[in-house]
Amino acid sequence: MSKTYKYKKIIIRRRYRILAAILIILSGGLVLLPKYQKNVGIKPETFLLNLMSPERYISTDFLANSLISKDPSILLIDVRSAKEYSDFSLPNATNIPLSTILKPDNETYLDQDGYKVIFYSNDNFFADQAWLIAKRFGYNNIFVLKGGLNAWFNTILNPEMPKTSDSELEFQKYNTRKAAAMFFGIGAVNTLNSNAATPNIAPKKIILTKTKKKTTGGGC
Amino acid sequence: MGPLIPNGIIPPEWDFVIALLIGIIFGYVLEASGFSSSRKLAGVFYGYDFVVLKVFFTAAVVAVIGIYYLDYLGFIDISKLYIHPTYLWAAIVGGIVMGLGFILGGFCPGTSLCAVAIGKIDAMAYGVGILIGVFIFSEFFSFIQPLFDGSNYGAITLVDTLGISPYWFIFLFSLVAIIAFVISDLVRKKVKKIFY
């Protein structure tokens, strides 16, 4: 064996030892690093920004317009209890009570990109809570009906007559709302009473199939 | 942030372009490190060359340490990575078939294509063999299907099954890798040298 060969052998052996040491140090570092709880969903900063923004609210007029024009992209979610839902609900709404919103089956409705999901309850109180939970998971396209069903009743089904001093615009809005009320089955406006039977149309159930997303398919 | 494609940072339309680029680099590295020689590859079974063991073990250890560091620093979400589901008996039978083919032919599927690219005749025969194998598999698929689809355990990992911390597992895995390298080196020194 020549001298340079021996010398090279020593260098290579030393290189192997250094590489082995690096491996052990790096993997040992993983063990020793302080662990922290990782949270699913969006960052707290983004969450707070979303929380402050009123963009999540959809007005009753907008919703009425969408329902009348049969906008296929909206998905109404009723977050009240099943009994309240069966008593009265908006056309084609799906019932997901707030207490069951985290059930895996419901994820299909909330976590998708195809629909505008609109939560509503009697006011926007419970709907806002549902929105908070869903937003926390980073779901997109979720909204809240501003004022909930109470606002729906007061503005669409039983709109308040504008004062004579109000602008022309207010009267136009009133007429539109009266027409909408007729569309939603309230016969003649101003004669509304609690016994007026709303036409009992079986709600069209929107069934979404679970699409697997956000995982890479792969293999060797 | 990551993984880049599931999170939409790279659109999935780029999959093929990226695959092509990674494939070219992978092929180059395989060829450059001598993996297109069947004698070198088969050496791991006869004990005169353990480069296959060393390369794949090192790749696994480096990748797992790197991914867990990236996850720790928040660059990658490990839970979003694809885990191939475990079909237990299919994997055992497939592993035996693959191992036999490896000893007999001296290539694994990837390295055989690498060797075809530099014009090795044995690798071309091997490539034809792969196609025949694919044909037989497809023709007899209805017989094989119970094995193929059976004993599916889902996307399980060793960490879930053993119930230990992934960090300790990686540490032990690195130690095992280094011990395996040392032992394989000792074996290589004992075995008669073969020049190829």
Average pLDDT on A125-130 reads: 89
Is residue A144, in this structure, part of any structural domain at all? yes
- Tokens, residue B19: 């695959």
Strand partners, A58: A145
Per-residue pLDDT band at A21 (split at 50, 70, 90) = very high
Contact B156, B93 (CB under 8 A): no
Average pLDDT on B90-98 reads: 93
CB contact under 8 A, A215 and B181: no
Report the C-alpha gap between B73 and A203 in whole angstroms. 48
Is residue A123, in this structure, part of any structural domain at all? yes
pLDDT exceeds cutoff 50 at A197: no
Searching chain B, which residue's CA lies closest to the CA of residue A17?
Answer: B178
Report the C-alpha gap between B73 and A38 in whole angstroms. 11
- Tokens, residue A78: 């009723």
- The angle formed by the CA atoms of residues A48, A49 and A51, to the nearest 5 degrees, is 60
Provide the pLDDT for residue A50.
Answer: 85
The residue behind tokens 């060359």 is B49
Segments making up each domain of chain B, as ranges: 12-190
Is residue A78, in this structure, part of any structural domain at all? yes
Distance from the Cα of B81 to chain A's closest Cα (Å) equals: 6
Distance from the Cα of A211 to chain B's closest Cα (Å) equals: 14
- Residue among B72, B82, B177 minimizing CB distance to A216: B82
pLDDT exceeds cutoff 60 at A190: no
Is residue A132, in this structure, part of any structural domain at all? yes
Q: What is the pLDDT of residues A45-71, one digit of tens each?
A: 888 888 888 888 999 989 988 888 888
- Residue among A16, A24, A214 minimizing CB distance to B174: A24
Query: What contacts A78, CB < 8 A, 6 or more positions away?
Result: A84, A85, A89, A90, A93, A94, A95, A96, A120, A121
Is residue A121, in this structure, part of any structural domain at all? yes
Total structural domains in chain A? Answer: 1
Provide the pLDDT for residue A211.
Answer: 54
Provide the pLDDT for residue A11.
Answer: 85
The DSSP secondary-structure symbol of A108 reads H
Share of chain A above pLDDT 70, in %: 83
pLDDT exceeds cutoff 50 at B135: yes
Report the C-alpha gap between A123 and B1 in whole angstroms. 37
Average pLDDT on A205-218 reads: 55
Range with top average pLDDT, A103-107, A156-160, A183-187, B93-97: B93-97
The DSSP secondary-structure symbol of B2 reads B
ipTM of the complex: 0.77
- Look over chain B and give the mean of its residue pLDDT values, rounded to a whole number: 89
Share of chain B above pLDDT 70, in %: 99
Average pLDDT on B22-44 reads: 89
Average pLDDT on A33-54 reads: 82
Contact A178, A158 (CB under 8 A): no
- Residue among A31, A213, A214 minimizing CB distance to B171: A31
Is residue A141, in this structure, part of any structural domain at all? yes
**A199: how many CB neighbours lie within 10 A of its CB?**
6
Share of chain A above pLDDT 90, in %: 10
Give contacts of B6 with chain A, Cβ < 8 Å: 213-216
Q: Quote the longest CA-to-CA distance of chain B.
A: 54
Which residues constitute the domain of residue A169? 44-183
E-strand ranges in chain B read none
Per-residue pLDDT band at A18 (split at 50, 70, 90) = very high
CB contact under 8 A, B6 and A215: yes
Q: What is the pLDDT of residues B59-73, one digit of tens each?
A: 999 999 999 999 888
B167 touches chain A (CB under 8 A): yes
Q: Which CATH number fits the domain that encloses residue A173?
A: 3.40.250.10
Sequence letter at residue B75: F
Interface of B with A in 36-55 (CB under 8 A): none
Provide the pLDDT for residue A215.
Answer: 47
Contact B119, B35 (CB under 8 A): no
Interface of A with B in 4-63 (CB under 8 A): 16, 20, 23-24, 26-28, 30-31, 33
CB contact under 8 A, B174 and A27: yes
Interface of B with A in 72-91 (CB under 8 A): 72, 80-82, 84
Searching chain A, which residue's CA lies closest to the CA of residue B59?
Answer: A23
Per-residue pLDDT band at A189 (split at 50, 70, 90) = very low
Burial classification of residue B68, based on how many CB atoms lie within 10 Å of its CB (0-12 exposed, 13-18 middle, 19 or more buried):
buried
| Segment among B17-21, B41-45, B134-138, B189-193 with least mean pLDDT | B189-193
Sequence letter at residue A56: R
Interface test with B, best of A30, A40, A214 (most B CBs within 10 A): A30
Provide the pLDDT for residue A187.
Answer: 54
Searching chain B, which residue's CA lies closest to the CA of residue A219?
Answer: B84
CB contact under 8 A, A217 and B82: yes
Average pLDDT on B32-59 reads: 88
Provide the pLDDT for residue B177.
Answer: 94
Give contacts of B68 with chain A, Cβ < 8 Å: 30
Average pLDDT on B160-177 reads: 90
Q: What is the pLDDT of residues A76-89, one digit of tens each?
A: 899 998 888 888 88
pLDDT exceeds cutoff 70 at A212: no
- The angle formed by the CA atoms of residues A108, A148 and A49, to the nearest 5 degrees, is 65
Q: What is the pLDDT of residues A128-186, one digit of tens each?
A: 999 988 888 888 888 999 998 999 888 888 888 888 888 888 888 888 888 888 888 76
Is residue A91, in this structure, part of any structural domain at all? yes
Interface test with B, best of A13, A19, A22, A23 (most B CBs within 10 A): A23
CB contact under 8 A, A30 and B177: no
Is residue A8, in this structure, part of any structural domain at all? no
B194 touches chain A (CB under 8 A): no
β A94-95/A57-58 pair status: unpaired
Sign of CA dihedral B41, B43, B48, B54: positive
Provide the pLDDT for residue B190.
Answer: 86
B14 touches chain A (CB under 8 A): no
